[in-house]
Each structure stands twice: as structure tokens, then as C-alpha cells.
């Protein structure tokens, strides 16, 4: 068997970084994946796909490990998903330990075109056999430059896929007019201002532009809060811009699903009481869980020297993580929200109320 030309550590305590590749039907997801798996930078990557045939791997085979696993020239390991995701990841990890497959540090999971990313994220956070070994790096969403406007209007799934993305890949950009591309990018700006966008033709993009978007940077072995949170993108002045001076907003279009999506960053200057924060999260989940598409933040907790990182998707919150240090001199708590049919004031007023109650009990 051809193994990756890297030295496998005797004891590997670092979690395998997982990225999700999602996008609406026909948005160019398969074309992108076809190019990615042949890229030399995909070494030490395992890709979970639905069908080998869909991405034309036959001529790229180096070795067929078993009926569901092949190894490519680029050092990329491809596996078809058989059964549920927990079993697929568990079996792949066991093969990694037994050295039955080349060592991998990253997994890319291809979802179906109608898939809601939330259940997969829940699996990564909640299933012990998975969450102890894998960690979510980011969500990559493909957006069709030619058909996106209509798809975003007609299909709420495509809106949610774009709203929760950490990277937005605009495909077929060579087939769209510049004016239409600008309108689409303005729309994506409003929908998900924190996700960098990449225009792509025929799936041609370097993997480094799509991966390593999570809180932990596997390359530097350090925490990268600024890259992960990107709270500066949620400031009103950052979102209120238009290309070439044109106003591309479509607030009068009653068919727009994304009119109900809100993206904002909530900040608090004073340290937050931990008990009040936990109560606030429980109330939000209990009353508005389905409306909390994505939450991530860094908290200054009263009585704690180091910051606490939090990350949630709908009803599920990842275990809070204490970071080794503050990334800079800014000690404010900052929480980024992407919500559906949920007013910002509802979220902020409840936290302020609980904080006020906690202050009274302490006085």
C-alpha cells in the first residue's frame, strides 16, 4: 500500500479536522470535488462521498483498498458512505489506527444537494465515538452564479446552506454577467457577511482557500480566534456597501427566503456571569432552537482569566472550551449569530435581563 510521505506520530492526540461540502442541486459541488481530490495538497485527506462514479475517479486509482475505499495519486483517500455517518467515520478512524489506510489529518464530507448541514454538525458534536476523535473545521457551500437568484427565492434549503457556511464558493462565474455576480455577492453579503467568497470556474481552486477555517489551526498548532469569528464582518458599516455604487437590495421581493435571515455580532463590555449565560442558552434553545442557525463566540466570563469559546447549531451546543489566552487586548465578549425569523432584540434583551438578575443576587 502506498502511504503518505509524512511521519505518523506515535500517539496522536489532535482531533481529525472535518469539513462539510454542501450546496444546492446542480450548484457545481461534484465538479469542485472532482478537482479537489486530484490536487496534490489533498494529501492526508480522506473524502467521504456518495458514489465514486459521480466524480470520475477510475483513471486516478492508485489502489483499491476495499469495495468502499480507494487511494488516489494525490494521496487523497476516498470512501463511499455506507450506512450512517457515525459508522463511516468510526470505521475509517479504526482503519487509520491499524494502518490499513494511509494516515489522514482531515476529512471532507460531501452532502446531498438537499441536505441540511445541521444534523451532520450535531453528529460531530454529540456522538461520543465521533466527537472524541473528530472536530468540525468548517462548512463549504457551493452557490451557482447562474441559477442562484431563483434557487434562493424558491428553496429555503439553499438559503440555509449559504447562511451557515464558513466559505462560499461561487461556481460557474464565467457564465454569469458581472452585474448579476455583483447582485449575488451583495445578497450573500447580507445573508452571511462572515463567510469569505471565492469565484470558481470548473471547480478550479486551491484547497488551502477552503480548509483550516475552524478555531484550531492545525498548521500552527494554535488557536486562531480572529479567523474563526470574523466579527468585524458583522459591523453595520462592513455590510452596508454596494459594488460600483449600485444598490442591489431586493427588499420588495416577497419571494425571498433570506429576508427572514439575520446575521449580527453581539458584544458586551463587562464580564458575563457564567450561570446567567448558561440559563440564557437554555432558554434560547428551548424557545427558539430551530431558529438559531449558527452561533459562535468568545466570552469574558466573570472570575475567569482566560476566554471561553462557544459554538452552537440550532438545538445543539458544543462543550465550551477554555482558550489558553486572549488573542489580543480586546477583552469584550463577542458572539456571532445567524438566525431565522428571530429578532436580535429578543436575544439581547433576555441576556441583559438575566445578567441584571445575577448582579442583584451578588450585591
pLDDT tens per residue across span 148-163: 988 898 888 889 999 9
Q: Could you tell me if 271 and 328 lie in one domain? A: yes
Note the residue count of the chain. 363
Q: Could you tell me if 295 and 203 lie in one domain? A: no
Say how far apart CA 157 and CA 314 lie, in whole Å.
Answer: 15
Place of cell 449558527: 294
Question: Which pLDDT belongs to residue 7?
Answer: 42
Query: What is the pLDDT averaged over residues 313-322?
Result: 87
Q: What is the CATH number of the domain that holds 313?
A: 3.30.1220.10
Task: Give the structural domain span for 124.
Answer: 16-227
Query: What is the pLDDT averaged over residues 191-212?
Result: 94
Q: Could you tell me if 220 and 357 lie in one domain? A: no
pLDDT band at 345 (very low <50, low <70, confident <90, very high): very high
Query: What is the pLDDT averaged over residues 297-310?
Result: 96
Question: Residue 269: CA atoms inside 13 Å, Cβ hemisphere, count?
Answer: 0
CB-CB contact of 120 with 160 (8 Å): no
Residue 71 lies in a domain: yes
Strands 106-110 and 316-317: unpaired
Q: Could you tell me if 218 and 283 lie in one domain? A: no
Q: Could you tell me if 265 and 222 lie in one domain? A: no
Q: Could you tell me if 181 and 289 lie in one domain? A: no
Query: What is the pLDDT averaged over residues 98-118?
Result: 88
What are residue 17's phi and psi, to 5 degrees?
A: -80, 130
Q: Could you tell me if 267 and 310 lie in one domain? A: yes
Residue 240 lies in a domain: no
Q: Is the pLDDT of residue 239 over 70?
A: no
Q: Could you tell me if 213 and 354 lie in one domain? A: no
Question: Which pLDDT belongs to residue 324?
Answer: 92
Say how far apart CA 233 and CA 66 lie, in whole Å.
Answer: 45
Q: Could you tell me if 62 and 199 lie in one domain? A: yes
Query: What is the pLDDT averaged over residues 41-58?
Result: 83
Residues 6+ apart with CB under 8 A from 109: 18, 19, 20, 21, 47, 48, 85, 120
Question: Which pLDDT belongs to residue 8?
Answer: 40
Q: What is the CATH number of the domain that holds 32?
A: 3.40.50.300
Residue 304 lies in a domain: yes
Q: Could you tell me if 211 and 297 lie in one domain? A: no
Nearest one of 218, 215, 216 to 297, comparing CA atoms: 215
Residue 79 CA to chain centroid, in angstroms? 21
Number of domain units in the chain: 2
Query: What is the pLDDT averaged over residues 328-348?
Result: 94
Say how far apart CA 224 and CA 296 lie, in whole Å.
Answer: 13
Residue 11 lies in a domain: no
Which of 211, 227, 243 is the last residue in one of the domains? 227
Q: Could you tell me if 262 and 216 lie in one domain? A: no
What are residue 254's phi and psi, to 5 degrees?
A: -70, -10
Of all residues in the chain, what percent carry a pLDDT higher than 70?
A: 88
Say how far apart CA 336 and CA 318 lie, in whole Å.
Answer: 15
Q: Could you tell me if 165 and 35 lie in one domain? A: yes
* pTM, 2 dp: 0.87
Amino acid at each position: 500500500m502506498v502511504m503518505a510521505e509524512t511521519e505518523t506520530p506515535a500517539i496522536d492526540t489532535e482531533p481529525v479536522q472535518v469539513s462539510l461540502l454542501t450546496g444546492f442541486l446542480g450548484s457545481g459541488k461534484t465538479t469542485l470535488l472532482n478537482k479537489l481530490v486530484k490536487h496534490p495538497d489533498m494529501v492526508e485527506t480522506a473524502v467521504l462521498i456518495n458514489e465514486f462514479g459521480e466524480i470520475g475517479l477510475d483513471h486516478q486509482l492508485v489502489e483499491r483498498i476495499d469495495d468502499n475505499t480507494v487511494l488516489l495519486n494525490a494521496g487523497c483517500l476516498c470512501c463511499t458512505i455506507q450506512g450512517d455517518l457515525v459508522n463511516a467515520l468510526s470505521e475509517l478512524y479504526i482503519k487509520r489506527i491499524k494502518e490499513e489506510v494511509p494516515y489522514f489529518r482531515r476529512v471532507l464530507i460531501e452532502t446531498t444537494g438537499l441536505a441540511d448541514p445541521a444534523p451532520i454538525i450535531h453528529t460531530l458534536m454529540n456522538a461520543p465515538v465521533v466527537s472524541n476523535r473528530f472536530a468540525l473545521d468548517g462548512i463549504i457551500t457551493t452557490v451557482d452564479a447562474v441559477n442562484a437568484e431563483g434557487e434562493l427565492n424558491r428553496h429555503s434549503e439553499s438559503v440555509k446552506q449559504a447562511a451557515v457556511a464558513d466559505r462560499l464558493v461561487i461556481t460557474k462565474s464565467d457564465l454569469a454577467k458581472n452585474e448579476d455576480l455583483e447582485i449575488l455577492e451583495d445578497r450573500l453579503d447580507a445573508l452571511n457577511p462572515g463567510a469569505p467568497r471565492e469565484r470558481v470556474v470548473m471547480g478550479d481552486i486551491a484547497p488551502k482557500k477552503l480548509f483550516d477555517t475552524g478555531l484550531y489551526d492545525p498548521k500552527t498548532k494554535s488557536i486562531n480566534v480572529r479567523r474563526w469569528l470574523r466579527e468585524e464582518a458583522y459591523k453595520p458599516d462592513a455590510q452596508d456597501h454596494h459594488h460600483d455604487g449600485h444598490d442591489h437590495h431586493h427588499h420588495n421581493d416577497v419571494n425571498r427566503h433570506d429576508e427572514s435571515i439575520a446575521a449580527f455580532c453581539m458584544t458586551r463590555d463587562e464580564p458575563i456571569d457564567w450561570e446567567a449565560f448558561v440559563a440564557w442558552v437554555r432558554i434560547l434553545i428551548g424557545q427558539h432552537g430551530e431558529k438559531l442557525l449558527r452561533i459562535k463566540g468568545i466570552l469574558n466570563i466573570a472570575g475567569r482569566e482566560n476566554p471561553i469559546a462557544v459554538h452552537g447549531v440550532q438545538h445543539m451546543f458544543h462543550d465550551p472550551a477554555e482558550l489558553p489566552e486572549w488573542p489580543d487586548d480586546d477583552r469584550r465578549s463577542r458572539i456571532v449569530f445567524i438566525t431565522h425569523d428571530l429578532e436580535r432584540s429578543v436575544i439581547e434583551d433576555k441576556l441583559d435581563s438575566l445578567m441584571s438578575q445575577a448582579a442583584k443576587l451578588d450585591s
